[in-house]
Structure 1
Amino acid sequence: MSLPGITEEQIAELLTYATGSSSSQPSLLVGGASDRWYARISGELPKRFGCRTLLVTGVPTTLWSILESFLRNQSFLERLQCPVPRVYGRWPQYGIALIEDFGDIRLVDAISREPKRRNELDENAIDLLVRLHSLPPDPHLSYPARELAFDVEKYQYEFGFHVDTWLIGHHLGVSPTATERRALDGTYRWISETLAAEPFVFTHRDYQSTNLMLRDDGTLGLIDFQDARQGLRQYDLASFIWDSYVSKSDERRYRITQYYRTAAGVTDDPDRFDALLRIAAIQRKLHDAGAFVYTAAHRGKTEYLVWVSDAIGIATDLMIEFHQCHDTGAMLAEWMERKRQAMRE
């Protein structure tokens, strides 16, 4: 069995460390949208691990910083007893780490298999989110979730890269006129400055049903937190409520929002809280749409293109609710409709 970018000798070294023998073979798992890959090690594992399987996760050595961010954030989260995978070993020279295996059942899978438990699972996810948002920064640790922030510069970068380059330019095939460019830039600036002005909390950055694992004990475990940073609390909540992989009715979104406000003890004006939630959702869904296109083009994972239209639809529907970005939302919706018509021809 081969692993991406790893030699047979390196695999043998890893297996000997994990199992005491190089005879077992890791099984490569289907990955997500990132550059990381995963493989499962099973068999007779030493008692020190306290489990029956382990995961190897890796990146090309040139991208070690991605995995290093995961490991540094993991140290912070584990110290505060958050449900994150334990780390058993790391080999930067090979671009790999050995971590705890949370299994194969994601929240999206659990909801599909047991729809009657959906309210319970939603509430469990929000309880965990409230816990994350209450985490105090640790000034004694160096980790990206404390050192990075959703500031204006970050939002502007995402609009430029994901939205302008990949969504509008590559996917929709549009070269905006000078007037359209001014409208886009004005909308980007308004959203960026509005969101960046809010108080910061620990933000997972991709809090959705594919990054929450249902563990053997029935509790949720958190994965893929390498991009965590400081940001407004509505960002993660918007990511969960407008999850690309689990659709939610308006009534369910309202109920989840109210549950979050109560659990987190939020006393902000409800209308203002909801407005910020929707503005965060606009940014998130436009980013999602561009990221799906980028993932398909750059990594060959074309299965993500199926989610682009819905992401744009959510974003433009929300944009039309605000006078600051109403016209830009209508413009994006028109461009998307042209794309659909061209695809039908």
Structure 2
Amino acid sequence: MPSTAIPVNSAALAAEKEQRRDALRSWLSSLPEHKLKLDSLRVASADASFRQYYRIDSEDGGSLIGVDAPPSSENSRAFIKMANLLKDINLTVPEVLAHDLDQGFLLVTDLGLHTYGQILNSDNAHKLYLDAIDSLILLQAQSQPDVLPEYDRPFLLRELNIFKEWYIAKHLGVTLTDAQNATLDKVFDHLLASALAQPQVYVHRDYHSRNLMWMDKGNPGIIDFQDAVYGPITYDLVSLLRDAYVQWDEEIVLDWAIRYWEKAKRAGLPVAPDIDSFYRDFEWMGLQRHLKILGIFARLWHRDGKDRFLGDIPTVMEYIRKTAHRYKELIPLLRLLDELEDNAPQVGYTF
């Protein structure tokens, strides 16, 4: 793929990050009740957003997490609201101990060092995924309308258009013909109709291996939930089982999906009554998500200068192609992808 990104002033970004880190340290110093060792402040993790996470030791021998969430781009109010909602459901989430919404700073409890993505292997995966499925069902079973933003048609379509704008136009450097646009829009219509016909529940929106923490008790810990919405029941399950960062054999994914479906029925959730219909909903929802992800990964590179997600594009494209191949309504997407690859510039590949 063309590898030219929009120029990013890395020095300016680094300086801004350091300024915010100093401001976070200053704010933490105003919280003596938490007995923080300010000199221990260190990077804990960063993600695809503009948030930064810092681990800081406390005098009692434990550690807490300082969150830098710039208010111009991050919604800390939504994080606090969702943290309280999930805690009330008895799910394991960071507890918000202090916050300054004007500056975009939070102090939260530390769920540990290990995400699912860091420890998953063939020996522990079954147990870890069943724990994640049980937590997901617990979340969905408490769903109520009018609590979270709706994952409605305009919202879902905006996400699909990220694929058009950033993956096709910017990353591939291809301008779609009228016929190609019509083909893609028809596929989008199929996916949107499927998503909107599904029962609606609480949706984390990024329920996957990098946002689930391995816990001795109350596994999994759940993070990065500030973008939660009220939407299609299969969305979080497909985020979990068709993860952009961790890929499993289709037979294993099918087994876990069936186990979810059986557990969900027993919990009284309104999943499709037969497994074939449910799995079709699951696959089509996954296709919507994966098209969006291709666009986001391209945008992270071309707009934000973050290239570490480019290596995950082949996994996401494999999901897309396998799903499109299985359904006659989606075969036109497969043909379009072939056309786009033939027409993309053949120099400057990033992978």
- Is TM > 0.5 for Structure 1 vs Structure 2? yes
Q: Which amino acid aligns with 2:126?
A: N
CA–CA distance in structure 1, aligned partners of residues 25 and 247 of structure 2? 40
SS in 1 for 2:180: helix
* Structure 1 residue 339: Cα displacement: 4.8
**Is 2:72 aligned against 1:62?**
yes
Q: TM-score, normalised by structure 1?
A: 0.88
SS in 1 for 2:72: helix
Aligned to 1:155: 156
* Structure 1 residue 27: Cα displacement: 0.8
* Structure 1 residue 23: Cα displacement: 4.8
* Structure 1 residue 310: Cα displacement: 2.1
**Is 2:309 aligned against 1:304?**
yes
**Is 2:98 aligned against 1:89?**
yes
Aligned to 1:142: none
Q: Structure 1: which 5+ residue stretches go unaligned?
A: 46-50, 140-145
CA–CA distance in structure 1, aligned partners of residues 42 and 104 of structure 2? 17
SS in 1 for 2:49: coil
Aligned to 1:52: 62
CA–CA distance in structure 1, aligned partners of residues 30 and 202 of structure 2? 37
The answer as to whether partners of 1:15 and 1:24 remain within 8 angstroms in 2 is no
SS in 2 for 1:303: coil
Aligned to 1:24: 39
The answer as to whether partners of 1:195 and 1:232 remain within 8 angstroms in 2 is yes
Q: Structure 2: which 5+ residue stretches go unaligned?
A: 1-15, 266-270
Q: Structure 1 stretch 24-33 or stretch 334-343: which is displaced more?
A: 334-343
The answer as to whether partners of 1:203 and 1:236 remain within 8 angstroms in 2 is yes
CA displacement 1:89-120 (0-9 Å, x = unmatched): 000122111101111200111214xx311211
SS in 1 for 2:66: strand
Q: Which amino acid aligns with 2:221?
A: G
**Is 2:53 aligned against 1:38?**
yes
**Is 2:247 aligned against 1:247?**
yes
SS in 1 for 2:143: coil
CA displacement 1:309-345 (0-9 Å, x = unmatched): 2212211221232222211222114424655954569
CA–CA distance in structure 2, aligned partners of residues 344 and 294 of structure 1? 16
The answer as to whether partners of 1:204 and 1:229 remain within 8 angstroms in 2 is yes
- The correspondence of residues 191-340 of structure 1 with structure 2, limited to 5 A, is 191-217=191-217, 219-265=219-265, 266=271, 268-336=273-341, 339=344
CA–CA distance in structure 2, aligned partners of residues 246 and 228 of structure 1? 22
The answer as to whether partners of 1:3 and 1:28 remain within 8 angstroms in 2 is no
CA–CA distance in structure 2, aligned partners of residues 131 and 331 of structure 1? 40
Query: Match for 2:128 among 113, 116, 121?
Result: 121
Aligned to 2:4: none
CA displacement 1:261-289 (0-9 Å, x = unmatched): 11111561211111111100111111111
**Is 2:35 aligned against 1:14?**
no
CA displacement 1:154-198 (0-9 Å, x = unmatched): 1111111x2111111111111010111111111112211221122
Q: TM-score, normalised by structure 2?
A: 0.87
Q: Which amino acid aligns with 2:139?
A: L
Q: Which amino acid aligns with 2:256?
A: I
The answer as to whether partners of 1:12 and 1:22 remain within 8 angstroms in 2 is no
Aligned pairs, number: 330
Distance 1:267 1:198, change over 3 A: closer
The answer as to whether partners of 2:21 and 2:68 remain within 8 angstroms in 1 is no
CA–CA distance in structure 2, aligned partners of residues 58 and 17 of structure 1? 16
SS in 1 for 2:47: coil
Distance 1:327 1:342, change over 3 A: farther
Q: Structure 1 stretch 82-91 or stretch 115-124: which is displaced more?
A: 115-124
SS in 2 for 1:88: strand
SS in 1 for 2:288: helix
Larger helix share, 1 or 2: 1
